[in-house]
Amino acid sequence: LTPPEAPPYIYLPIARRPQGLPSRGNITVPEQPEPGVAPDAEPACADLLSTGDMARLTGSTLRTVRFYEQEGLLEPATRNGGGHRLFSRDQLEKLQLILDLREAGLSLHEIRDLLELKQGCPTAEAASERLTCVLERQLECMQHKINLLRRLRDELASTVSAINDCRSCNDAKFPHRCDECDVLQQPEHPRALRVLWDT
Amino acid sequence: LTPPEAPPYIYLPIARRPQGLPSRGNITVPEQPEPGVAPDAEPACADLLSTGDMARLTGSTLRTVRFYEQEGLLEPATRNGGGHRLFSRDQLEKLQLILDLREAGLSLHEIRDLLELKQGCPTAEAASERLTCVLERQLECMQHKINLLRRLRDELASTVSAINDCRSCNDAKFPHRCDECDVLQQPEHPRALRVLWDT
DNA sequence: TTGCTCCTCACGTCACGTGAGGTGGC
DNA sequence: TTGCTCCTCACGTCACGTGAGGTGGC
């Protein structure tokens, strides 16, 4: 990808960056091709992203981008003269998916398996079946997690509303005998209220 | 809590455990008081739970229960003659809440702050306001996470349905030019399909 | 005596965070 | 020359996992 004769300063990250693409400290996600720029002229070299661009555009960190490269999840298209990594756009999208899957609870091992699944299958049939199988198992886990989060959200919300009247409390039952207080009228306190407030 | 004169074998965990409470390998969650057993006679000693009971009843591990005790999140009511921890029922409920909050993404530090918040406040007003503030911030985080998980679930589900037709694929475009395939008819592929399948 | 459950170190792991010291083009 | 961004070690952290070797009542 790097012409051997070209001097390093040809490859300055700023020079490579089309106007409107990531400027320092700007977190706006840039659109794909500039109008008037042929998208298939120099497809891999047209708009490469630095490690910092990758981090800023995804809300992650330099360390995370480098760590994912070290673990084989990301691959820079090339490096410039100063040794700086330069990533193509598809690696940005890959990074965004990895970060979302991480937040959904998948380990990097599971994510790597997903990313490598298709290339590890001899036929489209095998790849389709295996990917479907893995994704459906993950879909179940995600649904369980959504259900837990929704239950917990409702529990904490009802705890907040239950202790609302405690702002005007002058009772000596605070803090040790709040479970005997008439202000907390609910017949059965939600678990979070019992654990965080009753005692 | 431990009468100094009493010999240790008075405190056997089996002897303390009312019938119907956690038997080995049984994951059913027992009901609170046995009918016919006065619930306030020996309240702290009536039904104490071993570390293993705590782990089994919550689906966690011995190590986790011990770690949470070491970190000051749980406290055993006492220990028996053999040094085995014995927890009261409110610690089981506390452990369940801790585990749910962990799965929701809170750190043990944040959870400890929540658990200690009330006792660290001089008045009910202060405690109510601070707990409300902390919980409402967490509610926002949880809602964001729910939204992310739902989006990701839908994205993966549509990816699964998109590659369904690939089971009968014999095209030479597999595996490197699937993005040019007519079978993947959607005008705009979802991100997961682009990252995991197109290439 | 044999299982079973529990105990205490203590080292390992996963996914990064956080400096320390150095480089390279405006 | 001065900032700014990026680089490579390398040690730290968080939340446990995983044996190793030992105890105690059926």
Residues 2-61 of chain A with CB under 8 A from chain B are: none
Mutate to test the interface with B, among A135, A158, A178, A199 (most CBs of B within 10 A): A135
- Across the interface, whether the CB atoms of B118 and A196 are under 8 A apart is answered yes
| Distance CA B96 to C1' C11 in A | 29
Q: Tokens at residue A20, please?
A: 């409107």
**Nucleotide whose C1' lies closest to the alpha carbon of residue A7:** C25
pLDDT at residue number A184 = 86
Handedness of CA B171, B174, B176, B180 (dihedral sign): positive
Q: Which nucleotides of strand D are protein-proximal, with an atom < 7 A from a CB?
A: 4-8, 10, 14-18, 23-26
Spatial CB neighbours of B176, under 8 Å, sequence gap ≥ 6: B199
Give me the DSSP letters along A55-73.
HHHHT--HHHHHHHHHTTS
Query: pLDDT tens digit string along A62-98?
Result: 999 999 999 999 999 999 989 999 999 999 999 999 9
Contact, A15 CB vs strand C, < 7 Å: yes
Contact B156 A139 (CB under 8 A): yes
| Closest chain A C-alpha to B163 CA, distance in angstroms | 6
What radius of gyration do chain B's Cα atoms show?
26
Q: Which nucleotide is nearest to B11 (CA to C1')?
A: D25
Selection from B52, B43, B56, B55 nearest residue B89 by Cα: B43
- Nucleotide with the nearest C1' to A84 CA: D6
Residue that the structure tokens 């609910």 belong to: A186
d(CA B14, CA B34): 16
Closest to A160 (Cβ–Cβ): which among B135, B159, B168? B135
Residue-wise pLDDT tens for chain A (199 aa)? 333 322 222 222 222 233 333 433 333 333 333 333 322 223 234 589 999 999 999 999 999 999 999 999 999 999 998 999 999 999 999 999 999 999 999 999 999 999 999 999 999 999 999 999 999 999 999 999 999 999 999 999 999 999 999 999 999 999 999 998 988 888 899 999 999 999 8
Of the residues A73, A87, A112, A128, the best mutation for testing chain B's interface (the one with the most B CB atoms within 10 Å of its CB) is: A128
Contacting residues of A for B153, CB less than 8 Å apart? 139, 142-143, 146
Q: Strands, E, within chain A: which ranges?
A: 49-50, 78-79, 85-87
Phi, psi of B70 (to 5 degrees): -60, -35
Ranges of residues in chain B whose predicted pLDDT is under 70: 1-46
Question: Exposure pattern of A29-49 as b/e (b: 16+ CB <10 Å)?
Answer: ebeeeeeeeeeeeeeebbbbb
DSSP per-residue codes, A5-38: SS-GGGG-HHHHS-TTS--TT--PPPPSSPTTS-
CB pairs under 8 A between A and B: 154
Whose CA is closest to B127, among A165, A158, A186? A165
**What span, in angstroms and rounded, lies between the C-alpha atoms of A10 and A6?**
7
CB-based contact A132 B93, cutoff 8 Å: no
For residue B18, the distance in angstroms to the closest alpha carbon of chain A comes to 24
pLDDT of residue A137: 98
The answer to whether the Cβ–Cβ distance between A174 and B131 falls below 8 Å is no
Within 7 Å: CB of B69 and strand C? no
Q: Do B94 and A152 touch (CB under 8 A)?
A: no
Two structure tokens written together for B186: 């959607």
Which token pair is A40? Answer: 């298939």
How far in angstroms lies nucleotide D16's C1' from the CA of residue A119?
34
A81 CB below 7 A from strand C atoms: yes
DSSP state of B35: T
CA dist., res. A53 & res. A84, Å (int): 12
* Contact in structure between A197 and A178 (CB atoms under 8 Å): yes
Question: What is the spatial distance between Cα A74 and Cα A90, in angstroms, rounded to a whole number?
Answer: 10
Residues on chain A touching B90 (C-beta within 8 angstroms): 194-195
Is the Cβ pair B127, A174 closer than 8 Å?
A: yes
Q: In one letter, which amino acid is B27?
A: I
Cβ contacts of A145 on chain B, cutoff 8 Å:
103, 149
Quote the CA–CA distance of A15 and A86 in Å, as a whole number.
Answer: 13
